[in-house]
Amino acid sequence: TQLLEQSPQFLSIQEGENLTVYCNSSSVFSSLQWYRQEPGEGPVLLVTVVTGGEVKKLKRLTFQFGDARKDSSLHITAAQPGDTGLYLCAGATGGGNKLTFGTGTQLKVEL
Amino acid sequence: DTAVSQTPKYLVTQMGNDKSIKCEQNLGHDTMYWYKQDSKKFLKIMFSYNNKELIINETVPNRFSPKSPDKAHLNLHINSLELGDSAVYFCASSQDYRPPVEQYFGPGTRLTVT
């Protein structure tokens, strides 16, 4: 069973601060995704990374896939209250469409 | 306009009852999924269908039976509900099953078994 451990589990910061969320596993993934989930809603896809070492940027969010494709990070610059939510990483293995989701990071950005 | 919709949004029922959750997607996708999110927000796949055919069937009690009448619909029927079935159930869809699959989730159905 593949496990994706996210850290930290909870994060409460002030507006304008930077933060990094980590997603780690002992398994190799063919692709890795990040989702954000707000209360009462389903997860929304933010990004997909497929190549080891790949870096993708989405406005103030920077995503990196580890060289060995076992881990990933999400960096948010100058966090805003609208960034508040549950961040989930999800990895796919082999040629399948089954996603294994991470343990989640609950982020709260306060004014 | 809703891409992936689920009904009902909330479901409160007693142990031993049978209930169904419905899911529809209007994205023209071929593949649909059911996930269970527990109280710790851990999201786990239950089933996946591609063009009405079952392609993922995780270790789920056989009290749970998915049905896909067509590729735009995937329903979940649960027999003999137990307290441990209380969770939020999410339906999702993707263009197809070829990776990397980018999944679109519905708003969830919060099931409470008393």
Predicted confidence (pLDDT) per residue in A44-54, tens digit: 999 999 999 99
The whole-angstrom distance between A8's CA and the closest CA on chain B is 14
> In A, which residues are within 8 Å of B109 by CB distance?
none
What average pLDDT does this structure show over A11-20?
A: 98
Mean pLDDT, rounded, for B66-75: 95
d(CA B21, CA B8): 6
- Of the two residues B10 and A92, the one the predictor is more confident about is B10
Residue B52 in this model has a pLDDT that exceeds 90: no
**What's the pLDDT score for residue B1?**
67
- pLDDT at site B98: 84
Nearest chain B residue to A47 by CA distance is B102
Return the residue of B nearest to A87 by Cα. B41
Q: Binning pLDDT at 50, 70 and 90, where does residue A95 land?
A: low
Mean pLDDT over residues B24-37, rounded?
96
**pLDDT averaged over every residue in chain B:** 94
Q: Is the pLDDT of residue B94 over 70?
A: yes
- Quote the DSSP letter at residue A98: P
Omega cis (within 30) before B8? yes
What does the alpha-carbon distance between residue A16 and residue A83 come to, in Å, rounded to a whole number? Answer: 11
Name the pLDDT band for A90 (thresholds 50, 70, 90): very high
Residue A1 above 60 pLDDT? no
What is the arithmetic mean of pLDDT over B29-42?
95
Contact A48 B100 (CB under 8 A): yes
Set of chain B residues whose Cβ sits within 8 Å of the Cβ of A96: 56, 97, 99
Q: Compute the average pLDDT of residues A65-92.
A: 97
Contact B103 A96 (CB under 8 A): no
Percent over 90 (pLDDT), chain A: 91
As a whole number of angstroms, the distance between CA A6 and CA B29 comes to: 30
> Mean of the per-residue pLDDT values for chain A?
94
